[in-house]
């Protein structure tokens, strides 16, 4: 999405500006250096970075929108679009790769009919690839929300998905 398109996109989510103020001021001292952590806090709150919140942040801490957009697109954890109710992080790190992580990924893409970074139409799942979660001993690893599923085979993943609504 281009920056202009992003700004124009009407957003469904309601932003609680009082709360946003609290995040920016109280938690992070309205400090420009804390931009990344402020964005992380906003994403934790809304599950993504709603453009109106970024606009507000830009005026509030005096960082141009272009720069905020730059940071938000440079770092892979940030999403400018709403994500699903469940976040699937499939590990494509080296240790998982040599143990067949790509096969699990193929199966996930096939089952959900989405690819890396996308969200299912029913907003049930977002699929995100990560490179190593530090649990290589259990590879291939799939993390869904906060739950780790280790030593998972491509024939077992469907059952795991069933646990998530």
| Residues in contact with ligand FES by the rule CB under 6 A | 91, 93-96, 132-136, 139, 141
Residue 95 binds another protein, judged by CB under 8 A = yes
Q: Return the number of the residue (23 or 91) whose C-beta is nearest ligand FES.
A: 91
Count of CB atoms situated within 10 Å of the CB of 139: 22
Mask: binding to another protein, 30-59, rule CB under 8 A, as x and -?
A: -xxxxxxx-xx-------------------
- CB atoms inside a 10 Å sphere around CB 109: 15
- Here the tokens at position 154 are 């491509």
Q: 92, 83 in Cβ contact below 8 A? A: no
Closest separation in Å from C-beta 138 to ligand FES = 7
CB of 72 to ligand FES, least distance (A): 26
Evaluate whether 56 touches 20 at the Cβ level (below 8 Å): yes
Distance from C-alpha of 157 to C-alpha of 22, rounded to nearest angstrom: 40
- Contacts with another protein, residue ranges (CB under 8 A): 31-37, 39-40, 63, 67, 70-71, 74-78, 92-100, 103, 106, 130-139, 141, 148, 150, 153-155
């Amino acid at each position: 999405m281009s920056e202009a398109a992003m700004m124009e996109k009407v957003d469904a989510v309601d932003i609680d500006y009082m709360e946003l103020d609290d995040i920016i001021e109280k938690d992070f001292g309205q400090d420009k250096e804390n931009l990344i952590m402020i964005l992380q806090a906003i994403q934790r709150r809304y599950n993504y970075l709603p453009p109106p919140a970024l606009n507000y942040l830009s005026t509030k801490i005096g960082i141009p929108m272009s720069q905020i957009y730059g940071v938000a697109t440079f770092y892979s954890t940030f999403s400018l679009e709403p994500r699903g109710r469940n976040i699937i992080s499939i590990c494509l790190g080296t240790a998982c790769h040599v143990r067949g992580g790509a096969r699990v990924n193929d199966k996930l893409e096939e089952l959900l009919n989405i690819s890396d970074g996308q969200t299912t139409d029913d907003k049930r799942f977002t699929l995100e690839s990560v490179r190593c979660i530090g649990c290589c001993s259990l590879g291939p690893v799939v993390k869904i929300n906060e739950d780790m599923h280790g030593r998972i085979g491509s024939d077992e993943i469907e059952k795991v998905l069933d646990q998530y609504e």
